[in-house]
Structures are given as structure tokens and as C-alpha cells.
């Protein structure tokens, strides 16, 4: 009991000094979310050559992958260097989206004009106060170019994000829509996924090396996360894939050059329209990865592979738990621009009650700021204790 009380008092004291230190030093900071901050620690990369490749990506230097890849055609002199990044979020992932928009804004500032991306946000079911924040960011400028409310009514009913997450079929649907409006280089990023500025600076060269499609590997293998019903739907013998050891592609980060791989988007989209294809009977998140599984299957059948770890491309995924920290620091440095109404606060607290396993950013409710700052200290202490073990 005494240890518990002492720990709580210690945390409160640390929070006080944390706030004091923050306000004393903030004016000397150039940037709360430096574009490469999340890429300083690379995991699962032991070899000297791999570390060199990662260093090249983060610093925007040219490199060629260590393995040969198929090329088709030459780089056109008229090829545009502009590209499109698209993401989407529903109400329970808005914290991640806001943090992602801040990160992309800071990253874009360091890119050359010809490398700056077009950023498109899809609203997959946000609530009113979140839409207000996006409107304010749109008026400030520099955060995104377009926002669209995804029209679920145009698509099959099973796409409803409130039912089994819409089987993630809306993702290929969104990418298909964007490819029709903005053909060329298209990047899908989950709102919890960050790419380094070096990747954006050399995206054309990478897409030439990889023949118009890039996606890092993710955990598990094709047969581990693809329901047998997929092979049945495509009338293929699942035995053809046994012992092939095919990696899963990463659904959180997918890059297409539609000049070379529009057909992959089309095939992916056509499957997503049919529930028996993207989410066969008896499939679930326990044995199937919907959009990711189908993409992996199509990519393998196109004689492509997703063999490189995400760090090779300067990618960090699942940054969800850092979103509140990023928003708080960024707003303190760049100026807080949103103050919730009473109705907004009610909506915020309703979301916090409904989505207890998600981060709903809140510094305005009674005790919320102290709780948030305490979580920063707890996180730092946990990391410190883990480092000492």
C-alpha cells in the first residue's frame, strides 16, 4: 500500500516538473514531431547491408535493392513526380488520423516541391466535433488537399464499417476511386502508419525497381491468414501453395503505379464487391485478413513478392499509442486551434465510454489533462524499467 501511494505521489511530482520543463524549453524547439523521429530505431535489421539501405532511405539517397527485380519499360521524361497519398478513419481512429496529418504536414515541409504529395482523407464515420477539427485544419492549410465522406450506399451492404469492420472491403474501394481520379502513383497508408521523408523523395526510383508495386511483408504467411474459401472462390487448388512460404503483404502501406499495376487494383476491387471472395463463410479475424489476404493472393499470382521488412522502406506501423502524445506536443508548439463546446465534450466522453480500447484524445474534460500527462510519465517509466532488465 505504501509503495503504491509513494508511486502515485512520485508520478504527480514528475508531472509537475514535466509541465514546468516543457513550457521553459518549448520556445527553443524547432519541431515537436520531427519527420524522421520515428525511424531512429530500426528493428529486425541485423546485417550491415540492410542498415546501409535504411540509412540511404532515411536520408533520401539513391540505392538499388540487393536482389534483382523485374523492370518493364523506361522512365518517361514526362513522368510527373507528384503522387497521391490516401488514408481514412472512423470516429474511433480519429486520434491516429490527426497525429498522422501533423506528421505528414511536417514531413511535406522538408520535401522538394516536385515531391510534395497530394493528401486525400476519407471519412469512414466521423462524428461532428471531429469534422469541425478537420474543417479548421483545412482552413489553416498544409494538412490535406481533399476530404471525402465515403459513400457506403454505393457499395454492398456488408461494406458497412460498423459490421465486422466492413470486412475491410472499403479499402480497395477507396483505392479504386482514387485511381480513377488521380492515375499514377498512389499510396495507401493506414492512419497509424508513418513513412520517412526519404521514401517520398525517391518513390519513383523505387517503383521502377519494383515494377509498379510496393508493400512490405507483414507477420505470418499466405496460408496462415488466408481462408481456404478464397482458393475455392478462385477455383485454385490450395495444395499449390503449401510449402511455398509466401509472406503476407502489408495492408497498412501499399504503393501502386497505376501505369503498371492498375489491373491489380481492379482485381482487388472486383473481389471486394463479393463477400464470398473477400470474406468467405466461416472466416474471421482469427483465420483471415480480408483485404490484406486477397491482395497477397493476387500479388503472388502476378509473380510478385512482399519480402522486405517495413523498416527497409522507412515505414513504421501501428503508431496508434503515440497519437495523443504527438497531438499534445504539436498543438502546444504550433498553437491550439480547437476548443470544444459543451456538446462536443459530451460527444468526446461518449466515445471514450464506447471505445475503451481506443485512444480518444481529450485534454478538456475534468482531470483529463492530468491523466494524459501521467500516462506520458508512466510510459517513460515503463520504457526505462524495461531497458534496465
pLDDT of residue 244: 87
- Indicate if 295 and 357 belong to the same structural domain: no
Give domain status of residue 56, yes or no.
no
- Among 316, 334, 354, residue at a domain's last position: 316
Domain that holds residue 358: 324-374
- Indicate if 312 and 336 belong to the same structural domain: no
- Indicate if 187 and 281 belong to the same structural domain: yes
Q: What is the pLDDT along the chain (389 residues), one digit of tens a residue?
A: 555 555 555 555 555 555 544 443 333 333 334 434 432 232 333 444 444 444 444 444 433 333 333 333 333 333 343 799 999 999 999 999 999 999 999 999 999 888 899 999 999 999 999 999 999 999 999 999 999 999 999 999 999 999 999 999 999 999 999 999 999 999 999 999 999 999 998 999 999 999 999 999 999 999 999 999 999 999 999 999 998 889 999 999 999 999 999 999 999 999 999 999 999 999 999 999 999 999 999 999 999 999 999 998 999 998 999 999 999 999 999 998 999 999 999 999 999 999 999 999 999 999 999 999 998 888 777 665 555 55
pLDDT of residue 35: 38
- Indicate if 334 and 193 belong to the same structural domain: no
Give domain status of residue 77, yes or no.
no
Dump the DSSP string for 27-84.
GG-S-SS-TTGGGSS--S--SHHHHHHHHHHHTT-----SS-----S---TT-----E
pLDDT of residue 12: 57
C-alpha distances out from residue 180 to 86, 154, 184, 258, 292, Å: 13, 16, 10, 9, 21
- Indicate if 161 and 276 belong to the same structural domain: yes
Give domain status of residue 89, yes or no.
yes
Give domain status of residue 52, yes or no.
no
- Indicate if 193 and 250 belong to the same structural domain: yes
- Indicate if 239 and 338 belong to the same structural domain: no
- Indicate if 236 and 340 belong to the same structural domain: no
Q: For the domain that residue 139 is a member of, what is the CATH number?
A: 3.90.550.10
φ/ψ bin of 165: left (φ > 0), alpha (ψ from -120 to 50), beta (otherwise) = left
pLDDT of residue 377: 87
Rounded distance between C-alpha atoms, residue 74 and residue 364, angstroms: 55
Number of folded domains that form the chain: 2
- Indicate if 218 and 361 belong to the same structural domain: no
Dump the DSSP string for 117-156.
PEEEEEESS--HHHHHHHHHHHHH-SS-SEEEE--GGGS-
Nearest in space to 290 (alpha carbons), one of 262, 251, 328: 251
Rounded distance between C-alpha atoms, residue 300 and residue 298, angstroms: 6
Which cell is 99 given?
A: 497525429
- Indicate if 288 and 340 belong to the same structural domain: no
Give domain status of residue 126, yes or no.
yes
pLDDT of residue 73: 33
Dump the DSSP string for 241-308.
GTT--PEEE-TTEEEEEHHHHHHHHHHHHHHHT-HHHHS-TT--TTT--HHHHHHHHHHHHTT----S
Beta-carbon contacts of 191 under 8 Å, excluding residues fewer than 6 positions away, are: 87, 88, 89, 93, 96, 97, 99, 100
C-alpha distances out from residue 335 to 15, 17, 32, 36, Å: 21, 22, 12, 22
With beta carbons less than 8 A apart as the criterion, state whether 227 and 275 touch. no
Say what the pTM is.
0.81
Which cell is 306 given?
A: 512482399
Beta-carbon contacts of 253 under 8 Å, excluding residues fewer than 6 positions away, are: 187, 188, 189, 190, 193, 195, 215, 216, 310, 313, 315, 317
- Indicate if 301 and 335 belong to the same structural domain: no
Dump the DSSP string for 309-372.
-GGGGTEE---GGGHHHHHHHHHHHH-------HHHHHHHHHHHHH-TTS----SSSTTHHHHH
- Among 273, 293, 316, residue at a domain's last position: 316
- Among 316, 338, 355, residue at a domain's last position: 316
- Indicate if 201 and 225 belong to the same structural domain: yes
Cα–chain-centroid distance for residue 118? 16
Beta-carbon contacts of 306 under 8 Å, excluding residues fewer than 6 positions away, are: 215, 216, 217, 218, 247, 248, 249, 250, 296, 299
Rounded distance between C-alpha atoms, residue 317 and residue 102, angstroms: 16
pLDDT of residue 251: 94
Give domain status of residue 380, yes or no.
no
pLDDT of residue 378: 81
Rounded distance between C-alpha atoms, residue 184 and residue 203, angstroms: 12
Give domain status of residue 307, yes or no.
yes
H/E stretch holding 223: none
pLDDT of residue 63: 32
Give domain status of residue 17, yes or no.
no
Amino acid at each position: 500500500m505504501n509503495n503504491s501511494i509513494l508511486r502515485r505521489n512520485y508520478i504527480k511530482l514528475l508531472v509537475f516538473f514535466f509541465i514546468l520543463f516543457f513550457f521553459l524549453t518549448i520556445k527553443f524547439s524547432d519541431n515537436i514531431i520531427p519527420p524522421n523521429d520515428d525511424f531512429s530505431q530500426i528493428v529486425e535489421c541485423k546485417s550491415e547491408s540492410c542498415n546501409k539501405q535504411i540509412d540511404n532511405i532515411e536520408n533520401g539517397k539513391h540505392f538499388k535493392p540487393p536482389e534483382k527485380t523485374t523492370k518493364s519499360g523506361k522512365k518517361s521524361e514526362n513522368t510527373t513526380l507528384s503522387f497521391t497519398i490516401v488514408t481514412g478513419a472512423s470516429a474511433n481512429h480519429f486520434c491516429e488520423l490527426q497525429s498522422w496529418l501533423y506528421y505528414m504536414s511536417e514531413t511535406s515541409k522538408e520535401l522538394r516541391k516536385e515531391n510534395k504529395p497530394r493528401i486525400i482523407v476519407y471519412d469512414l464515420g466521423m462524428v461532428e466535433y471531429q469534422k469541425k477539427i478537420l474543417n479548421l485544419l483545412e482552413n489553416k492549410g498544409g494538412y490535406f488537399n481533399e476530404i471525402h465522406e465515403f459513400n457506403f450506399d454505393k457499395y454492398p451492404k456488408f461494406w458497412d464499417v460498423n459490421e465486422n469492420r466492413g470486412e475491410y472491403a472499403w479499402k480497395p474501394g477507396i483505392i479504386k476511386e482514387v485511381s480513377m481520379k488521380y492515375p499514377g502513383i498512389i499510396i495507401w497508408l493506414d492512419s497509424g502508419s508513418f513513412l520517412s521523408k526519404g521514401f517520398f523523395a525517391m518513390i519513383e526510383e523505387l517503383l521502377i525497381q519494383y515494377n509498379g508495386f510496393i508493400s512490405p511483408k507483414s507477420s505470418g504467411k499466405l496460408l496462415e491468414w488466408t481462408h481456404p474459401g478464397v482458393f475455392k472462390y478462385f477455383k485454385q487448388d490450395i495444395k499449390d501453395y503449401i510449402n511455398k512460404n509466401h509472406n503476407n503483404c502489408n495492408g497498412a502501406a501499399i504503393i501502386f503505379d497505376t501505369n503498371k499495376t492498375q489491373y491489380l487494383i481492379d482485381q482487388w476491387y472486383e473481389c471486394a464487391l463479393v463477400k464470398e471472395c473477400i470474406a468467405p463463410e466461416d472466416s474471421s479475424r482469427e483465420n483471415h485478413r480480408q483485404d490484406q489476404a486477397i491482395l497477397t493472393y493476387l500479388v503472388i499470382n502476378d509473380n510478385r513478392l512482399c519480402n522486405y521488412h517495413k523498416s527497409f522502406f522507412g515505414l513504421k506501423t501501428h503508431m496508434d499509442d503515440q497519437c495523443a502524445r504527438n497531438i499534445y506536443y504539436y498543438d502546444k508548439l504550433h498553437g491550439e486551434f480547437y476548443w470544444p463546446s459543451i456538446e462536443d465534450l459530451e460527444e468526446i466522453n461518449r466515445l471514450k465510454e464506447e471505445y475503451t480500447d481506443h485512444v480518444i484524445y481529450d485534454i478538456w474534460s475534468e482531470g483529463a489533462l492530468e491523466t494524459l500527462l501521467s500516462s506520458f510519465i508512466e510510459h517513460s517509466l515503463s520504457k526505462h524499467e524495461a531497458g534496465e532488465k
